[in-house]
Amino acid sequence: PKSVHMLSLPLLAPPANVYVYAQEALDPNVIWARRVGMWTVAEAPSRTVDSVAEVRLSLRFERPAAAGPGLVQLLFFHSSELSLLGTTDSDGRRALCCTDRAAAAGACRRAGMLVVRGDGEADEQQPGVWVRDVPFRGPEATGAVDATVRVSRSGVHYLLLASCAPSTGSVLVSGSTAWLNPHGYLPAELYAFLPFFGAMAALYSALLALWVGLCVRHRSLLLPLQVYIGGVILLGWLEAVTWYRDYDLFNAGGSRGVVPIVLGVLASTAKKTVSRLLLLVVCLGYGVVRPTLGATASRVCALGIAYGVASALHDIAANVSQLSEASAPLRLLGILPVFVLDVLFYWWLFGALTATIGQLSAPRSGTRIPVLQLALERTTSPLHSAAFRCPHCTRTPSYSRAALKTLHDAAAPP
């Protein structure tokens, strides 16, 4: 028989917590999987008096060419219940769907259904594996599920839509599923970003006001570099405000638009790029031992543009798509250009800073050396950059790819 395929979120869709199905085809031997972090009301970091922790299902199923009986199943469960799903044959192979061969061997009870070992709970108020069958009797062409499933344990939860019986045929799925945490629609793993960026926006506002006040007070003594520093602070404020607004809208409405994500990524990229360029020109001696950069300015701009473009493309792909679900080579392809440009930046910084400190070693130049020594400490960041970037090339989130791999491994029938 044909293999069972596990389908998770598409790679080119931003994450959401209200999933809308518009006549999407669920074919035989296919399982759809959704995965979201959920809090219970008692353990949620933020909640109101009428807070709930639940998943609301409103789905309609239609068979365009109904010929015989069929079945679609829905499963909702905590990640700790993954071991209850599927069966293992004598060769060590796992399968989620019960096949004729597995049923004949006594590994499962009925062919054409998901294998749920132990007590599959149908009570929406109780923990365990929540199971709901949508049977099609004879030539029956339609079915529906309207249910609310309570979350009884904090952690990552899965929702599976499965069509294990080949006789079911193609089923068109319409409707929606809404995952509601006590604090709103934000998944539990993303909630911390909301207060974090709110606090960052407040801190950047205070810092920007202080910097502008100092610049106005000492405007007759201002250096161009100090104006550029103010620009970096402004970009940091814009980044924090944009991301806070993005997560606030996500929490309130359950979906995440592409435009706010792109704006946030561009603000973050602009801040990172300008701050690196600012540090580089200081190490090159601009405003310290030379009034202009001369011909070096074009190379600095070229490196800044290359880094900005590479970083923006990678960050947009990581935020708009489900990049963590991509293969290691694909993630490496996105991370490697940014990593190489980071190393190139810091290699240039070390060389330029060493040369500039050499010029400042002359008499009466010592008062500016501490500033560049501080910059030298800042250039130790390539080690941090390497330590941060390289693990991301192959890292697997503990609750996502590894867990879905368990489901994938169980997808093929024994």
- β-strand 54-62 against 30-38: which pairing, if any? unpaired
Q: How confident is the model at residue 68 (pLDDT cuts 50, 70, 90)?
A: confident
* Closest listed residue to residue 208, CA positions, set 238, 179, 181, 251: 238
Largest CA distance in the chain: 96
H or E element at residue 38: strand 30-38
What would the mean pLDDT of 7-22 be, rounded to a whole number?
A: 61
- How confident is the model over 342-397, as pLDDT tens digits? 888 888 878 877 777 777 665 554 445 454 454 444 444 444 444 444 444 333 33
- How confident is the model over 173-217, as pLDDT tens digits? 999 999 999 998 889 888 999 999 999 999 999 999 999 999 999
> How far are the Cα atoms of 73, 127, 154, 281 from residue 44, in angstroms, in the given order?
30, 18, 8, 47
Q: Return the percentage of the chain with pLDDT > 70, whole number.
A: 73
Kindly report the length of the chain.
414
- How confident is the model over 218-254, as pLDDT tens digits? 888 887 778 888 988 999 999 999 999 988 988 888 8
Residue 97 · residue 162 · CB < 8 Å? yes
